[in-house]
Structure formats: structure tokens, C-alpha cells
Structure 1
Amino acid sequence: MRIKIGHEEFEVRIDGRDTAPALLLSNSLSSDMSMWDDQIPLWSQRFRVIRYDQRGHGRSIVSPAPYTMEQLGRDALGVLDALGIERAHFCGLSMGGMVGMWLLTHAPDRIERAVLANTAAYMGPVDLWNGRIAAAQGGGMEALVDATIARWFPEPFRLAAPETMQRMRAMILNTPVVGYQGSCMAIRDMDQRESIKAIRNPVLVIIGSKDPATTPADGEAVRAAIPGARKCLLDAAHISNIEQAAQFGAEVDAFLG
């Protein structure tokens, strides 16, 4: 379904009963809401699961770059507002987890429990992101897809799951270049290392033990900064909800209670 936030349109999908507690999902850079497909059958049994394509991704608005983490966070709030939802659980992976940190520090009353997966409060260096922005400008997403897949999944999983890899490649290649660049700028310019120390909501931090993008050290730093945050370590690289789909789903389901 399409919803309007101001004059901008976002793609949203809802699974589960209308009367169930709301669970908002936020996707990673270079992906779309379909990244959560493996978890929907479980989570929709107990939750009203709301997925949306982040700005610049999937079928949502592709506005001009740059983007900011505040802008992406306000998009998430706009989705809740458009659906008349005052409070929701939250689960975001990578960039989606960064959006979750912004929500927890700027709109904590809108969030119940939050899962921050394979994410970081700060991701330098600046040159890394400028390089990716330039690569997308010069060669489109085709110039980035192979390196992205290699960061997302370890080689044994890539070889064992060729159909999943085809789906992931298509998702990356379908990401609008401007949306990718704008989101890279939001991540490049983000530093939430101090602000997340004020979070008081219940939080689960999911860490991939083989994650080369948001490393175990990055995840541990997030967990250590948030008072009372729990940790779940999965045998996975960056997109842990696909590599360890069943365990990821069960861990989140148990945490949300």
C-alpha cells in the first residue's frame, strides 16, 4: 500500500491482525522491505507487522541527496502517524538499526521494545562513504553489487544458497542510485555514540560474529552504551536475519515477549 507523509509517498506493507501489538521494521542500505520475508510468518502470528521501504529504496520516494539520519527517523515516525499508531515495537538492521537509535533518543515515547541488529552508532571513515558514493555515480549499483554481497554473506553461505543470492543481488541492483547515495551520506555524517547513552527503553542488540561491515566491536559498543541492553551473538555476517533466519526470528520474538 502507498501512504503519504506530507507530499511524499512511501511503500508500506502490513501483516498480522489489526488488533495485535504493532512491530515496525526498518531495512538496511541497498535493500527493501522484502529483506524481512523470512521472519514474517512467525512475527505476524503475534504482531501487526509494519514494513516500509526506506526513503530512496524500493518503491518509496527517491528524494534528492543528501539525506540525514533525522530525516530517516522522521520518515519512520511518519509511517506510524499515517497508520494512527502511537507506540510500536521496533526492529531495524544496519541502517535500519541506526534509524532505531535515532527514534530511541528523539521519540522514546513512540517505541516500546527495540531490536538493533548488525548496526553501529558511528561508521567511519568519511573517505569510505565518499568512495562508495563516487562508485555509484560512475558505475551505478552494478559497480557495488559484488562487494556488497561479499560483505553481507560469507562465501560458504553464498555457495550454499544460490537462489537467495540471486534475490539479494536483484534487490541491490534495484536500489536507486540517488537513494543509495543519499543514504550513504546519512550514515557518513551520523554520530550517535553519545546520544544513545540516554536510551532507557528495553533494547536487544543483535551482533553477527563474522560481520565485516558493522563489526562485533561496533555492536558491543552499542550494547555497552545503552543501559540494560541485552546482546545476542549470531554465527553470521552482516545480513544476519537472512543467513540465520530461524534463529534471528526466534530471538526477536522471544525478546518482544
Structure 2
Amino acid sequence: MPFLELPSHRLHYRIDGDTDGCQSKPWLMFCNSLGTDLHMWDAQVAGLRPHFRMLRYDRRGHGLSSAPPPPYGLSDLGNDALALLDALKIERVHFCGLSIGGLTGQWLGIHAGYRLAKIALCATSAKIGTGEHWIERLEAVRGSGLAALTAATAERWFTPAYNTVEPGAVGKVLDSFVATSIDGYVGCCAALAGADLRTDIKRIANPVMAVSGDDDPVCPPSDLEDIAARVQQGRHLSLPGRHVVNVESAQAFNVALLGFFGCGSFVPPNCSEMQ
């Protein structure tokens, strides 16, 4: 398993789609939601493998990445992403982030937009919830752990119909939620408590697609419409589902990503499958 060793922690990452003889395919970087690991993007990797080289990683304190002592700031999460790109000598990527991963994408667009091509910001907001809410959440997790939150998390993340029809898929996501490091989860709650990019996202000049779940109680479609309106080149798309819309509407989500990122000048003509 590949890891990037950093001074205070290590990041687990995975690269897919780079073994088919087309090394110049565009890079697409995925950034997870709170309490998930890189496997939340399995359906995207399966569907988009012919078109991209894909980089996904476990955020600090999630999955197989280690957890430095909390609290964390949003800049810490953004700089982890940049450190990974630097270590792998990847100059520029398309970026897709969901929830806190979308906030990380916004931070990168503001502070390191030249490292990104197009940005998909999914089930996120320029400010998610309130500081008080996240402080209450981290204190609850410190006291009772994550298992106590699984039922409420399943309800927020997936529609009742999906919970009923796809219990295996839901269970897989919830297993990664419960396995998340307490320090990692608490540290990221602190980052969410302090994150407010509503003014700064107007500096994002990259093309942005804001994707909402049409029944998302965490980041409703209006939050994504607001992002699309505030950035310089934004559009909004709503898909069926709640917060983890990339899992619940995986096929439509993949079609949206492929249509948005497309081929363009980012792919040289020697990649015949992209013509």
C-alpha cells in the first residue's frame, strides 16, 4: 500500500487508471467526505477508469491514514492535498470533492487554483452548518464514539428508499464511518467549525460544477446554487439522492463528471480512446 510520510502523519493514497498504456490521460483527484475512506469513490473509479488517471486518498485520521493530534484547520487539509500532488510530481489535476472534501476543493481553488483544472464541488457548502453545531458534534463523539451516530448518519446520507434497496452499499459506507479515528473525526469537525469561505470563493476562477443531492438535508441544493453563483465560472446540477450522492446516483454522477471534465486540450491526441 502506498503512503506519503509527512512530518506529523502519513497519508494513504491509491492511483487507478494508469496501467493501460496511456500515461497522458488527465489526472482526476478525489477528496472524501467526513467519516469515509477512499472507497467511497469505488463506483467512480470503475466507471471512469478508461478516461482518467485517478488519485484518491484517505484524509488525515481517516481510513489507513494516521491522525495527528487535533484540532485541524481547513488549511491543514488543503496543504495535505498539495503535499500529495508535490510528492507524486503531479502538476495539475481535475478535482472532485464531496462535503468537507468540497470545502477542501474550495480552499485549493482560492489558494492554489493554478494546481487545478476544473473543479467539481459536491454536496458541500462554502460554510457547512454552524461552529456551535460542530463543537457539539465533536464533544459528543469524544464522549460516546461514532457507533452511536450510525443510524442518524444513514438517514442524513441516503434516502429511505436507498437504505432499503441497497443495504449492502449503505453498510459498507457506514463501516468506514465507524472505523474512522476519533482524533481524525474530531480534528475535522474543528476544521468545519472554523471554515467560512462565502466571501473568498469569488476568487475561484477555475470552471466549477456544483453538484447537489436533491434531498440532501446537510447541504441542500440552495447551498450548491449559491456556490455556482459566487464563483467566477459556475454551474449547478442536482441529482437524486441525499448527502452521499456519488454513491446513491453513481451512474448519473459519473456521466456528469465525464461531461464536465470532458477531454478538451487537457488530453493529448495520442490517447485514442478519448477521441
Mark yes or no: TM-score above 0.5. yes
Offset, 1:9: 1.4
Whole-angstrom CA distance in 1 between matches of 2:130 and 2:203: 25
Counterpart of 2:192?
187
Counterpart of 1:139?
144
The 8 Å contact of residues 62 and 178 in structure 1, kept in 2 or not, is answered as yes
The 8 Å contact of residues 123 and 219 in structure 2, kept in 1 or not, is answered as yes
Letter in 2 for 1:102: W
Offset, 1:168: 1.5
Counterpart of 1:63?
68
Letter in 1 for 2:76: Q
Offset, 1:106: 0.1
Whole-angstrom CA distance in 2 between matches of 1:85 and 1:125: 35
Note the alpha carbon deviations across 1:68-108, whole angstroms, 9 max, x for none. 10000000001100100011110000010000000000001
Letter in 2 for 1:12: Y
TM-score (norm 2): 0.91
The 8 Å contact of residues 32 and 101 in structure 2, kept in 1 or not, is answered as yes
Structure 2: runs of 5 or more not aligned: 263-275
Counterpart of 2:208?
203
Letter in 2 for 1:192: L
Offset, 1:61: 2.0
Asked if 1:175 is matched to 2:176, the reply is no
Whole-angstrom CA distance in 2 between matches of 1:7 and 1:126: 26
The 8 Å contact of residues 68 and 189 in structure 1, kept in 2 or not, is answered as yes
Counterpart of 1:77?
82
Whole-angstrom CA distance in 2 between matches of 1:64 and 1:178: 6
Counterpart of 1:13?
14
The 8 Å contact of residues 66 and 182 in structure 1, kept in 2 or not, is answered as yes
Structure 1: runs of 5 or more not aligned: none
Whole-angstrom CA distance in 2 between matches of 1:80 and 1:44: 19
Letter in 2 for 1:64: P
Counterpart of 1:221?
226
Note the alpha carbon deviations across 1:229-257, whole angstroms, 9 max, x for none. 11111111100000000000110011001
Note the alpha carbon deviations across 1:43-78, whole angstroms, 9 max, x for none. 221111000001111111201110110000000001
Q: Once the two structures are aligned, what percentage of the paired residues are identical?
A: 39
Letter in 1 for 2:94: H
Offset, 1:7: 5.1
Counterpart of 2:55?
50
The 4+ residue runs of structure 1 with deviation greater than 3 A are none
Equivalent of 1:87 in 73, 77, 92: 92
The 8 Å contact of residues 30 and 172 in structure 1, kept in 2 or not, is answered as yes
What secondary structure sits across from 1:39 in the alignment? helix
Letter in 2 for 1:241: N
Asked if 1:250 is matched to 2:251, the reply is no
Counterpart of 2:161?
156
Offset, 1:146: 1.4
Counterpart of 2:112?
107
Q: How many residues align?
A: 257
Whole-angstrom CA distance in 1 between matches of 2:132 and 2:102: 22
Letter in 2 for 1:229: G
TM-score (norm 1): 0.97
Offset, 1:221: 1.2
Offset, 1:169: 1.6
